[in-house]
Amino acid sequence: MGMGLVVSECQCLLKLFSSTKKKRSFHDLLRLTHKWTVVFHTKQHKNEKKPAKKLFPNSYLFKQWTVELSEDDQRKAEDLFQKYGYNAFLSDQLPLDRELPDTRDHRCIGREYPHNLPTLSVVLIYLDEALSVIQRAICSIINRTPAHLLKEIILVDDHSTNEDLKTQLHVYMSSINEKHPGLVKMVTHSEQKGLSQARISGWKAVTGDVVAILDAHIEVHVKWAEPLLARIQADRTLVLSPVFDSVNYYDLQVAKYPIYAHGFDWSLWCRYVGFPQKWYDQNDPSQPGKSPSVMGILVVDRLFFGEIGTLDGGMEVYGGENVELGIRVWLCGGSIEIVPCSKIAHIERAHKPYVSDISNVMKRNALRVAEVWMDEYKINVNIAWGLPIQNHGIDIGDVSERKKLRERLKCKPFKWYLENVYPELNPINDLLGYGVLINDLQTRLCLDKGPFEENTPILYPCNFMESQIFYYTASGEIFAHPLKFLKNNRNRYLIDPGSGRFPELSWCSDTEKQKHMYWDFKQISADQTGKYEKNVFLQDCRNQHWKIQNIIQDF
């Protein structure tokens, strides 16, 4: 309701009163007032906008981001969300120099660092990123890095197709370089080469003492660089990671993450893990802590990075290259630390727009890492991905140069890494077989976990999906997918509950094992009558045999 409407209605009412020649009674005036009040509210109601229809009620964006938008704006926001995996519509409306909440430990805030730290080059990698997100990353780096330490910002464009990244971004770069000559530079790929190659291209272009290789969908916090540079000044063989804060993909608000080390499972998917116990014994969460690996963002002495072989350029698209780096650094003379006083806010995408299914390329990259670095433990990667030990049929590319690098650097065996760096990773050296279990009387049916809430396995038409993957150990245990690769994690074991006709699936860890969970397959029987073909029975069966898909050792 505008103020002009109120004034005009009041003026009309006063004009009516003053123009009447007949003397009005007080009640007449009330009736007229009521009449015009009704008219006024009717006009006001007509001018009010109805709430826009919710066009995308099932969108991951609008399930979380509950704002009132016009239908046109909803379409724009959803289109941009599908394109980028985060709320680029909102990003375009936020200030490029927005403030971030200070999420550092209080002991970090007043900490002082030497003035004469190494110089820093920052590499930002992107592929069809939202323009405002890249601009905000650049702006935060310039505003929150001491000018005498910031040598340059290198943008690496891995063959983007967005027109605004070819025009408006260059205009933005030019405006910065007018104030800071030569500060922002760009490297462009004529074809998409993937994350590893893009990071290598950025490293080749930098000239600073230290290189920080970051995603472009980040914002750095205040005093982010000094703790990293001070650590590398003290030890050039360190590879460092700041601590990430999460930027919600839907409203771009910053959420503080707990401080963890970076690890991985045998499929080489990254995951957060605990620090070594001595880090916790310090009772000071502002101190750097040793880590088995890095999530991807890394800060390293520029020359040392070259000496240890940068990244594996044979990796495709995305995934596994950070785990490969983590293993190689530890085995070949360096170490990895997480630095809690350095904070970077990182947008957590709802989906990766540049590839619809990352699992296939991740599988291929993981096998490549295993072949070069994991020695006798490389079969665990096959097991994790459900692949046969021999002849998995996946082309991992030429690894001869990476094997020569390992020899040249005189790197330690992977067993040393498991024992000294990442003892939490279960070596799973007691498996005899894995995959689907098929009974010879019902060869079209496989053992299946059945409905999750029932914990009762069944026979089901073979589909070779995760619900039908089982693992058989030398001690006679059978447990179900997914295999828990960290020690003391709980696995889902097949047990004999001790009563009734049917086996069950039960959660337990190595310290909680139950009595009736050791099998030689003679106790598990498939129905032979055809009446209960989906049931698995507990009984002594002499004429049935079970076959497990992949055999590691004969049993």
* Residue 424: inside a domain: no
448: left (phi over 0), alpha (psi -120 to 50) or beta: beta
Secondary structure of 267-296 in the HEC alphabet? CCCEEEECCCHHHHHCCCCCCCEECCECCC
Q: Which run of H or of E encompasses 547?
A: strand 546-551
Count of residues making up the chain: 555
- pTM for the whole thing? 0.85
Q: Domain end: 347, 363, 394, which one?
A: 347
Give residue 15's pLDDT.
Answer: 34
Return the CA Rg of the chain.
32
* Residue 74: inside a domain: no
Quick check: 368 pLDDT over 50? yes
pLDDT tens, position by position, 398-408: 999 999 999 99
Residues 85-108, mean pLDDT to the nearest whole number: 97
Q: What's the whole-number average pLDDT of the chain?
A: 86
> What is the rounded distance in angstroms from the CA atom of residue 507 to the CA atom of residue 101?
40
More confident position, 510 or 170? 170
Residues 231-241, mean pLDDT to the nearest whole number: 98
Looking at the fold, whether 321 and 185 belong to one and the same domain comes out as: yes
Looking at the fold, whether 211 and 303 belong to one and the same domain comes out as: yes
Secondary structure (DSSP) of 317-360: SSSSHHHHHHHHHHHTT-EEEEEEEEEEEEE--SS-TT-S--HH
More confident position, 256 or 353? 256
Quick check: 4 pLDDT over 70? no
Give residue 49's pLDDT.
Answer: 63
**Residue 83 DSSP one-character state:** H
Distance of CA 418 to the CA centre of its chain: 24
CATH number of the domain where residue 522 is located: 2.80.10.50
Question: Amino acid identity, residue 309?
Answer: G
Q: Where are the alpha helices (DSSP H) in 48-105?
A: 60-64, 71-84, 88-91
Looking at the fold, whether 468 and 327 belong to one and the same domain comes out as: no
Q: How many domains does the chain have?
A: 3
Looking at the fold, whether 339 and 483 belong to one and the same domain comes out as: no
Question: Domain range spanning residue 279?
Answer: 106-347
* Residue 10: inside a domain: yes
- Least reliable range by pLDDT among 112-121, 304-313, 534-543: 534-543
Residues 123-133, mean pLDDT to the nearest whole number: 97
CATH number of the domain where residue 115 is located: 3.90.550.10
Beta bridge partners of 504: 495
Looking at the fold, whether 315 and 449 belong to one and the same domain comes out as: no
Cβ atoms of residues 216 and 129 within 8 Å: yes
Q: Which run of H or of E encompasses 170?
A: helix 168-179
Give residue 475's pLDDT.
Answer: 86
Quick check: 521 pLDDT over 90? no
* Residue 150: inside a domain: yes
Say which residue the tokens 């991905």 belong to: 385
Q: Domain end: 331, 347, 363, which one?
A: 347
> What is the rounded distance in angstroms from the CA atom of residue 52 to the CA atom of residue 75?
12
> What is the rounded distance in angstroms from the CA atom of residue 299 to the CA atom of residue 319?
18
Name which of 346, 125, 137, 384 is nearest 255 in CA terms.
Answer: 346
* Residue 63: inside a domain: no
* Residue 391: inside a domain: no
> What is the rounded distance in angstroms from the CA atom of residue 546 to the CA atom of residue 543?
10
> What is the rounded distance in angstroms from the CA atom of residue 106 to the CA atom of residue 108?
5
pLDDT tens, position by position, 39-56: 444 444 555 567 788 999
Looking at the fold, whether 469 and 324 belong to one and the same domain comes out as: no
Looking at the fold, whether 446 and 536 belong to one and the same domain comes out as: yes
Quick check: 466 pLDDT over 50? yes
Looking at the fold, whether 192 and 323 belong to one and the same domain comes out as: yes
Looking at the fold, whether 112 and 33 belong to one and the same domain comes out as: no
Quick check: 377 pLDDT over 90? yes
% of the chain surpassing 70 pLDDT: 84
Name which of 133, 122, 138, 141 is nearest 174 in CA terms.
Answer: 138
Looking at the fold, whether 41 and 117 belong to one and the same domain comes out as: no
Give residue 3's pLDDT.
Answer: 41
* Residue 198: inside a domain: yes
> What is the rounded distance in angstroms from the CA atom of residue 48 to the CA atom of residue 28?
31
Give residue 170's pLDDT.
Answer: 96
Q: Domain end: 293, 314, 347, which one?
A: 347
* Residue 408: inside a domain: no
> What is the rounded distance in angstroms from the CA atom of residue 335 to the CA atom of residue 354?
32
Looking at the fold, whether 209 and 302 belong to one and the same domain comes out as: yes
Q: What is the dihedral of CA 403, 405, 409, 410, to 10 degrees?
A: 20
Quick check: 515 pLDDT over 60? no
Cβ atoms of residues 457 and 513 within 8 Å: no
Looking at the fold, whether 210 and 281 belong to one and the same domain comes out as: yes
> What is the rounded distance in angstroms from the CA atom of residue 324 to the CA atom of residue 294?
10
Q: Which run of H or of E encompasses 240?
A: strand 238-247
